[in-house]
Amino acid sequence: MRANSSSSEQDRSFTERGRRAQIVEAAIEAIVELGYSRASFGQIAKRAGLSSTGMISYHFRNKAELMQQVVTDVYAAAEELVGARIDAAGTARDQLRAFIESSVDFYRTNHRQLRAITEIFLNERGDDAALPHRRELEGMRELLRAGQRSGEFRDFDPHVMAVTLRHALDGVALRLGVEPDADADRYARELETTFDLATRAG
């Protein structure tokens, strides 16, 4: 019998959720240290302090479900922080600034998580994995279009700008992992200025 037979998050017990979270964290560690293709159940189990890979299969139906959970968890944490900051901002220009600033804030302590889901996106080809990513791009396009309608932003292509911003931010997260002494604030400030100049009207 396995614990992963229940499908909904609420159905899971306290300890069960704890174990899953612990395994998700270990998966992130393994991906960041070794790369997706070498992040085997064996490596993940070792980092989770589990004595056998069977324990991972006990908590997750298969490897795809574990990877999906990594993506879900990281997105949930990011949206909680970033969403609140955007909602607190007034104009579209301030919202864009808040989005960049809070994203970099998130990466400051979570660049490993970002690195992990970047690798998962590239390797897990199913549409399920890419869904939150597409939803996020959609949200960014909407924010940019709203600013264009209100006259705050110039007449750029919202899709191209959203893609550009998304990947620029990914780049920051990647850099924060590679450069140990990187100053996150510096990245935030520069990106805010850059995209403010690139988007603002006349």
Partner DNA sequence: GATGAATGAGTTTTCATTCAT
Partner DNA sequence: GATGAATGAAAACTCATTCAT
Site residues (vs DNA, CB under 7 A): 1, 3, 13, 15-16, 19, 38-43, 50-58, 61-64
CB of 84 to its own copies, least distance (A): 25
| Sole binder of its own copies in the list 13, 167, 185, 201 (CB under 8 A) | 167
- Residue recorded with tokens 């450069």: 179
Contact partner at residue 72 from DNA, its own copies, none, CB < 5 to 8 Å by partner kind: none
CB of 184 to its own copies, least distance (A): 11
Residue 68, token pair as written in the block? 């999906």
Give the single-character DSSP code of 91.
S
CB of 55 to DNA, least distance (A): 4
DSSP codes joined into one string, 32-74: HHH-GGG--HHHHHHHHT-S-THHHHHHSSSHHHHHHHHHHHH
Given the complex with DNA, which of 56 and 172 has the nearer CB atom? 56
Contact partner at residue 58 from DNA, its own copies, none, CB < 5 to 8 Å by partner kind: DNA
Q: Does 186 bind its own copies (CB under 8 A)?
A: yes
Given the complex with its own copies, which of 53 and 72 has the nearer CB atom? 53
Polymer length of the chain: 202
Return the ∠ at Cα 123 (arms to 119 and 127), rounded to 5°. Answer: 110
The phi-psi region of residue 200 (left if phi > 0; otherwise alpha if psi is between -120 and 50; otherwise beta) is beta
User: CB-hemisphere CA count at 13 Å for 113?
Assistant: 21
- The Cα 143–Cα 100 span in angstroms is 12
Q: Does 195 bind its own copies (CB under 8 A)?
A: yes
Contact partner at residue 195 from DNA, its own copies, none, CB < 5 to 8 Å by partner kind: its own copies
Residues 6+ apart with CB under 8 A from 16: 3, 59
Q: Does 4 bind its own copies (CB under 8 A)?
A: no
Contact partner at residue 153 from its own copies, DNA, none, CB < 5 to 8 Å by partner kind: none
Which residues, numbered 22-51, are part of the site for its own copies (CB under 8 A)? 34-38, 41-42, 45-46, 51
| Sole binder of its own copies in the list 25, 29, 73, 124 (CB under 8 A) | 124
